[in-house]
Amino acid sequence: MTDNYSDCSANYRVYLQRQKMQLLNIPPTRFTPISPYPTYTKFQLDMRRKTEILKYSAAKTNTKTNNFTKSEKWAQLVSGNFQRRTYSQEEITNSTNNLVDCSSNETLLTPTSSSGVPGPIMYLYNDPSVPLYNYVVNRSYSILDDNNRQPWNINPYNDIACENGEQTLVSLLGIRQYIESDYTIFNLTTSVGIYVGGTVDADGITSTLSISISNIGCAIYYNDTVVATPTISLSGLNTLEALEVDLENPDTDSFSASLFVGNITTDDFTLYTKPNMAFDIKLTFTMSYTGDSDESYFTYSKIGAYCNLSATNYELARNCSISGKSTATPSAFNLLSK
């Protein structure tokens, strides 16, 4: 029994890798045909399809009983199929005068017995306003996008909240079959913002608060094993400055703010990159703040950093005022190789 379960941990590691690669999978475009229901009934669509079939159009059927090609018409002409006895002009005129032209009447009722359709007699009609649905259908369902040959996938979302001091998963990295090397050098870039929120406990006047990022840690995991710890420089990051909470307003019961403070880039790090390997990219932000002498007036409910900021969180303040927004252009979450 022991031997049967000796590979459980290895199998579990394989399971984790497959699970992460599935999260990184980009499915093909879903096939969503336009349905004619309920605008048209099943009877209308069936009737439209039947009349189209009974036209025996040369472009749609193999039996060209109604529409012949130019060469087929010439063959019938020279073989004598169209050689009839000669009618006098009087006979032709009399026959033509008695004809009724119904070619423009598409909805003319025609019994199935006149069309060689077996079974109980019903009346057929062609309604051009009804779409021709499921008549000649040739669909091709692709499983994978052959044009997508990128060597890896990542899955960051906007406004990834990283609580103060807590290691946070910011993206998965999945290696695809198009990777060209067993070892790849990467670096990571993303925009960073500071967020804060709290509740007001008492009336009063607060001094100006200041919140900054004092350290950023980065760790790359393969399953539960750390395989790289690139360093991140704090140079260029601004501080969320002059945070003032309006405590004198009786309607102020809570406050929140977020501010874009700059972009960060990791040092180069090397990973062993075989196809179907999946890695976790995790960041840890350590925050520091001043002006704590007035904390008796309110309670912090959250302090941390945002990664991959959306435009709505570049500069947002509710029941407070802030300053210190970075003048840099916010960078999207990006993983580059060398």
User: Tell me, what amino acid is at 320?
Assistant: C
In sequence order, the 6+-apart residues with CB closer than 8 A to the CB of 142 are 28
Helix (H) or strand (E) holding 273: none
| Dihedral sign of CA atoms 158, 22, 278, 268 in order | negative
Give the tens place of pLDDT for each residue, 279-329. 999 999 999 877 655 555 667 788 899 999 998 889 988 888 888 888 889
Give the tens place of pLDDT for each residue, 51-73. 888 877 655 555 555 566 777 77
How far is the CA of 56 from the CAs of 52, 80, 105, in angstroms? 7, 24, 19
**Residue of higher predicted confidence among 293 and 261:** 261
Task: Give domain limits for the chain.
Answer: 42-124, 152-337
Give the tens place of pLDDT for each residue, 208-239. 678 889 999 999 999 989 999 999 988 778 87
Q: What is the pLDDT of residue 186?
A: 95
Residue 179 pLDDT more than 70? Answer: yes
From the DSSP assignment, how many helices (H) and strands (E) are in the chain?
Answer: 4, 16
In sequence order, the 6+-apart residues with CB closer than 8 A to the CB of 161 are 168, 195, 304, 306
**Residue of higher predicted confidence among 313 and 29:** 313
**Residue of higher predicted confidence among 91 and 73:** 73
Q: What is the pLDDT of residue 1?
A: 42
d(CA 40, CA 153): 44
**Residue of higher predicted confidence among 314 and 143:** 314
Residue 16 pLDDT more than 90? Answer: no
Mean per-residue pLDDT, 270-275: 94
Mean pLDDT of the chain: 80
Q: What is the pLDDT of residue 57?
A: 67
Q: What is the pLDDT of residue 211?
A: 85
Q: What is the pLDDT of residue 198?
A: 82
- Cα–Cα nearest to 336, from 188, 219, 178, 179: 188
Residue 90 pLDDT more than 60? Answer: yes
**196 and 320 in contact (C-beta within 8 Å)?**
no
Structural tokens at position 327: 């003048």
Give the tens place of pLDDT for each residue, 189-215. 999 999 988 877 665 555 567 888 999
**Residue of higher predicted confidence among 9 and 95:** 9
d(CA 112, CA 20): 60
Grade residue 2 by pLDDT with cuts at 50, 70 and 90: very low
